[in-house]
Amino acid sequence: MSIKVSNFYYLIAGIFAVLFAVTHAWNGQSAVLPELQVGAITMGTRTVFMYVWHIITAENLVFGVMFIWMSFQSDRAKVQFAAWMIVSLLIVRLMVILSVTAFQDASSLTDTLIDSIAIVIYVAFIILGIRIKPKKVGKSEATFQ
């Protein structure tokens, strides 16, 4: 039994998502979350911010594991719906990031550039993976499967 990658775009998207989970957790623990220790922020606000931060980290990890698993599936139709759902979530995530940032402080929109580019590239790889056409199986090949 050999394991074969059926969709390299999904594999790349999965690797990106796992890397995003790691860098998101690392950035949160080293730079963002320590800033919450200022006295002006209530413990409740700190708790909410921390769990929301870690929810996104966990989502990225789950998406990554799923895309890596999906990259080995030969029946693309079975995983296409999940891929479209994740694309939808990522696009909504990007819209929330940009709209909340624009509403709160439009001048800091440039601070979202790296995250925005990463999400767009990630979504592009997923869509490329969705658009892969299934291989045609000839009559002689079909009898051996």
**Residue-level pLDDT at 11:** 97
Please give the Cα distance from 90 to 8 (Å, whole number). Answer: 20
More confident residue, 88 or 48: 88
The two structure tokens encoding residue 136: 């045609």
76-105 and 43-70 helices, crossing angle to 10°: 150
Q: Residue 140 above 50 pLDDT? A: no
3-class secondary structure, 31: helix
pLDDT higher than threshold 80 for residue 1: no
Which tokens is 50 given? 């921390």
User: pLDDT exceeding 70 applies to what percent of the chain?
Assistant: 91
Residue 136: pLDDT band (50, 70, 90) is low
* Residue 132 phi, psi (nearest 5): -60, 130
* 13, pLDDT greater than 60: yes
Amino acid 107: pLDDT:
92
Output 31 or 135, whichever has higher pLDDT: 31
Residue 141, pLDDT > 60, answer no
What pLDDT, on the 0 to 100 scale, is given for residue 29? 87
pLDDT per position as a tens digit, 69-100: 999 998 888 899 999 999 999 999 999 999 99
* The model's pTM: 0.82
